[in-house]
Amino acid sequence: MAPSSIAILGGGLTGLSAAFHLSRRFPAAQITLLNKDIHFGGWVHSRRAKITLKDGRETSVLLEAGPRTLRPNSKSVLELINLLDLSPFLLTVPKSSPAARNRFLHLPGTKGLLCIPSSPLSILTSGLSPKSSSLHSPLGHILLSAVAREPFRLWNRPLMIEDESVDEFLSRRFGSEFARIFGSALVHGIYAADSRELSVRAAFPSLWDAEERGRGSLVTGLLRPSRASATAEVNDLPYQLGDVDEQMRGVSVYSFSQGIGALVDALLRELRTRRNVRLVGGVSATGLRMNPRTAQFEITTSSCETLRATHTVSAVPLPSLKGLLSPKTPLPHLTANPYSSVTVVNLVFLASPGHVLHPVGFGYLVPRASSRHAENAILGCVFDSSSMSTQEAPWSADIVKMTAMLREPVASIARLVDMLSEQLGVRLPDPLVVRVHDNAHCIPLLRVGHLQRMQELSEVLQGEPWSSKLEVIGAGVGGVSVGDCVEAGRRAGRNWA
Ligand SMILES: Cc1cc2nc3c(=O)[nH]c(=O)nc-3n(C[C@H](O)[C@H](O)[C@H](O)COP(=O)(O)OP(=O)(O)OC[C@H]3O[C@@H](n4cnc5c(N)ncnc54)[C@H](O)[C@@H]3O)c2cc1C
């Protein structure tokens, strides 16, 4: 039966996307979205800070505490851009630009940055060019030998295993040095977590599938087109992309002139015009149960009300959902994954002619150290001035903006600036603006076996008392990227008549 009333718990991107799509699909249903914080958007925080330039002119810089750039591979986000008329505010970074191509690593215990060759082909071609920096970088040698040997390694996935860590997977195919340096750095950049704990199937399903397509060789598999994704497109509800897909041709990453917050603001603007949607900020759900007599959900709230709904979408972190349930009707695996904490520090410097603070490029990541005591507090640093310089237009040339990600709160800004200077190999001046955001428990670490556990959760939700009327979605279920979250919201309630 089609829902007549829907409760959505959580107003991060997952919950907002669910509200947007459900209100279109079920225009006759009354939808109420509860969000614990007054601020909607969850971890998305885009703010401008006022600054005074050297010549006394006043302007502002855009600072992101959460997500800052998106990849165009998520069609559900492109669809929102089209449906919410966000195209005029898009800022794109072409794949061919140095800001997209140049990515760096800082190896713990060394000074300065090493350039990562942008593709296996570029390692080979850089080998032909005496001027290339990647030729002389040890990274080029590690990459080249790992990638060149991989197709000759026999199928070595142990029999009967259904999942393994990213580190185990990459070590099997490319060797442990490759896995420690490249795999751990990638996982630091996306999950702020340890690649030895993260599930390869949950985090990088395309790698697992490519190994199968390549009959054991990941490199061979990656070079073969995937039939599965083509079939999924045909069978699925088509995306309404307008010409946004076209605009994204050749784009590496994108954002908006007012940052990722533009997506949240546009969703809120649109939802506020919908008669069947009520957005309630600053009120949290405190309990959730299905009343067997009325076959309705009863949601108690921090404002001492009881919200009743025929259907419910939970888009809150899984441990929060656990706290809402009665011990009589538990759901499995809600606390199986820990959450990583990340301290994000925005730094803005005044530019000085001749004093280059970082190379042109996307930024750098710091891999896991070879010994525990050499571990670095800094996970990586994004060069916003290179990758999203147009957010500060027309004053982009007057400032240098970068964002450091740390695994622990900052003890002292002076110490942080020293550490960054050492990693960049350049003495940084005193920053003009510093904003520190301690994002506690912000990114779920999808542990090995995650997909199996989520399958079990889904089966329980199909049975009594939930009867598929409760959907559990969000970063801790279907993937942490903004694209994953928006897609999960788009799919919510697909089977509700
Ligand atoms: C620092 C950082 C950088 C990131 N960078 C990127 C990036 O560059 N690109 C990218 O694609 N992804 C990035 N991500 C990941 C992505 O931003 C998140 O995974 C995504 O925003 C999570 O959305 P969500 O709605 O599932 O959860 P959340 O954002 O956690 O939202 C959950 C919401 O639920 C509410 N809530 C909690 N409990 C209750 C309750 N009991 N009742 C009612 N409401 C409740 C909260 O107030 C919150 O608004 C980043 C994440 C972080 C933290």
List, for residues 344-392, the tens digit of each pLDDT value.
Answer: 999 999 999 889 999 999 999 999 998 877 778 999 999 999 988 888 8
The mean pLDDT of 34-50, rounded to a whole number, is 97
The mean pLDDT of 322-332, rounded to a whole number, is 97
- Quote the ligand 1 centre to 439 CA distance (angstroms): 10
- The pLDDT-based confidence of 305 (bands split at 50, 70, 90) is very high
User: CA of 345: how far to CAs of 245, 381, 441, in Å?
Assistant: 33, 9, 16
pLDDT at 134: 44
CB burial of residue 104 (10 Å; 0-12, 13-18, 19+): buried
pLDDT at 121: 59
pLDDT at 275: 95
pLDDT of 396 strictly over 90: no
What does DSSP assign to residue 70?
B
Over residues 52-62, the pLDDT tens digits come to 998 899 999 99
Please give the structure tokens belonging to residue 24: 């279109």
Over residues 438-469, the pLDDT tens digits come to 999 999 999 999 999 999 999 999 999 999 99
Task: Give the β-pairing of 30-35 and 277-281.
Answer: parallel
Is residue 402 lining ligand 1, measured as CB closer than 6 Å? no
What does DSSP assign to residue 192?
S
Distance, in Å, from the CA atom of 326 to the CA atom of 290, rounded to the nearest integer, reads: 10
Sign, Cα dihedral of 357, 362, 368, 371? negative
Please give the structure tokens belonging to residue 102: 């140049």
Q: Who contacts 494 (Cβ-Cβ below 8 Å, separation ≥6)?
A: none
The mean pLDDT of 190-194, rounded to a whole number, is 97
Is residue 45 lining ligand 1, measured as CB closer than 6 Å? no
Q: Who contacts 386 (Cβ-Cβ below 8 Å, separation ≥6)?
A: 98, 99, 102, 358, 360, 361, 362, 363
Distance, in Å, from the CA atom of 257 to the CA atom of 90, rounded to the nearest integer, reads: 7
Q: How many CB atoms lie within 10 A of CB 56?
A: 6
Q: What is the CA radius of gyration of the chain?
A: 24
Phi, psi torsion values for 74, nearest 5 degrees: -90, 105
CB 480 within 8 A of CB 443: yes
Whole-number mean pLDDT of the chain? 93
Residues facing 8 on adjacent strands: 33, 313
Distance, in Å, from the CA atom of 124 to the CA atom of 271, rounded to the nearest integer, reads: 51
Please give the structure tokens belonging to residue 149: 């040997």
Residues facing 253 on adjacent strands: 93
Q: At what angle do helices 482-491 and 75-83 cross, to 10 degrees?
A: 70
User: Ligand 1 pocket check: which of 480, 484, 487, 490 to mutate, most ligand atoms within 8 Å of Cβ?
Assistant: 480
User: Ligand 1 pocket check: which of 263, 307, 316, 487 to mutate, most ligand atoms within 8 Å of Cβ?
Assistant: 316
Look at residues 44, 101, 65 and name the one whose alpha carbon lies nearest to residue 267. Answer: 44
Q: Residues of the chain with pLDDT > 70: what percent?
A: 94
* Closest Cα to atom 4 of ligand 1: 67
Q: Which amino acid is at 454?
A: M
- Quote the ligand 1 centre to 331 CA distance (angstroms): 21
Is residue 69 lining ligand 1, measured as CB closer than 6 Å? yes
The mean pLDDT of 193-214, rounded to a whole number, is 97
Of 153-162, 366-375, 393-402, 478-487, the range with the lowest mean pLDDT is: 366-375
Of 35-44, 140-149, 473-482, the range with the lowest mean pLDDT is: 140-149
Q: Who contacts 293 (Cβ-Cβ below 8 Å, separation ≥6)?
A: none
pLDDT at 45: 98
Phi, psi torsion values for 489, nearest 5 degrees: -65, -35
Look at residues 45, 7, 469, 3 and name the one whose alpha carbon lies nearest to residue 283. Answer: 7
H or E segment and range at residue 358: none
pLDDT of 131 strictly over 50: no
pLDDT at 395: 84
pLDDT of 235 strictly over 90: no
pTM for this prediction = 0.95
Please give the structure tokens belonging to residue 437: 């955001």
Is residue 70 lining ligand 1, measured as CB closer than 6 Å? yes
pLDDT of 208 strictly over 90: yes
Helices (H) and strands (E) in the chain — how many of each?
Answer: 21, 19
What does DSSP assign to residue 395?
S
Look at residues 151, 399, 236, 21 and name the one whose alpha carbon lies nearest to residue 3. Answer: 21
Is residue 301 lining ligand 1, measured as CB closer than 6 Å? no
- Quote the ligand 1 centre to 15 CA distance (angstroms): 10
Q: Who contacts 141 (Cβ-Cβ below 8 Å, separation ≥6)?
A: none
Over residues 97-117, the pLDDT tens digits come to 999 999 999 999 899 999 998
Phi, psi torsion values for 145, nearest 5 degrees: -70, -35
pLDDT of 276 strictly over 60: yes
pLDDT of 124 strictly over 80: no
Distance, in Å, from the CA atom of 126 to the CA atom of 135, rounded to the nearest integer, reads: 6
